[in-house]
Amino acid sequence: MSVEVVVKNSCQSIGEGPHWDDRTNSLLYVDILSNDVHRWSPDTGNDEKIHLDDSVGFVVPCRKGGYIVGLGRSLSHVDWDSRKITKLHEVDKGTKNRFNDGKCDPRGRVWAGTMGYESEPANPERERGSLFRLDVDGSLHACVNKINISNGLAWTADNKTMYYIDSLPRKVYGFDYDSETGNISNQRVVVDFGEGTIPTLGYPDGMCIDTEDKIWVACYGAAKIVRFDPTTGKQLKTVDIPARRTTSCCFGGKNFDELYVTCGVQGSTKEEREKYPMTGSVFRVTGLGVRGRPANVYEG
């Protein structure tokens, strides 16, 4: 197993939301509070970005072209070439909330969650967020409320279980998932980071899932990615990352056997950045012996 930097110090606030676009062989990711969407090509080494007018929590491609982004409190469509922004829905009106992580389910719906105003990292206004589902017909549905920091999402290969992270209870939840309707039910805890583990595990942040239905969770504040078995809650593997504020991960590469990892800069001290000079970079982990599945895109 090896860990390398592929995009050095590219994020100035919170690198997040990595998504491997297998159609273009490129990695999408966001720099949330810098209001930037990045698109990096391993073939050319070029890291393009577009600057938007509000925070960007996530980015996912659309089958019909362009991208869906969580832009402030809105779900919007972005055309990369023309820079045209089309607002689809605005949520949580009258609040300082913003969209955080988001991802597409196996049927091409977008799931994205909000969080309350964050005065410092991992300390938002409590229970202000919700998890929303954007259906392929363009309709929006609130599915879970009283969320602290809406984060990682993943679905099992049989399309029967959805995993979801709220970072502040430090738990990964499982739901029964109906792929036909998009309905979720039977919420339960599948991984509990537990008391006394903040120094070693930090906070669960973004995640992805491999072909064996094991989840890979970015441990914010702990400089690592941990592979868990969601059926037992047990830790299976740890990948140390040379950046303390690891935020998310996704599988990519031509064989989906590379793990791409984002991290944050916001809140870091001078001492932390001296210890971890690659803070704000994008990392690639190879030699894990497992692979992921192609990421879903918005089919609306």
Q: Which residues are catalytic?
A: 205
205 is in an annotated binding site: yes
Residues 37 and 69 sit within 8 Å (Cβ to Cβ): yes
For residue 200, give the H/E element and its range: helix 198-201
Number of neighbours of residue 262 by Cβ within 10 angstroms: 32
Name residue 208's beta-bridge partners.
216
What are the φ/ψ torsions at residue 272 (nearest 5 degrees)? Answer: -65, -45
Distances (CA, A) of 123 to 39, 42, 73, 127, 165: 29, 35, 18, 11, 16
CA 43/CA 160 separation, integer angstroms: 36
CA 46/CA 251 separation, integer angstroms: 19
127 is in an annotated binding site: no
Three-state SS for 80?
Answer: coil
25 is in an annotated binding site: no
Three-state SS for 205?
Answer: strand
Residue from 13, 88, 10, 29 nearest 295 by CA:
29
Distances (CA, A) of 272 to 170, 218, 291: 23, 18, 32
Residue from 120, 208, 134, 123 nearest 167 by CA:
123
Number of neighbours of residue 228 by Cβ within 10 angstroms: 22
Per the annotation, where are the binding residues? 16, 98, 100, 118, 151, 205
Per the annotation, where are the binding residues for substrate? 98, 100, 118
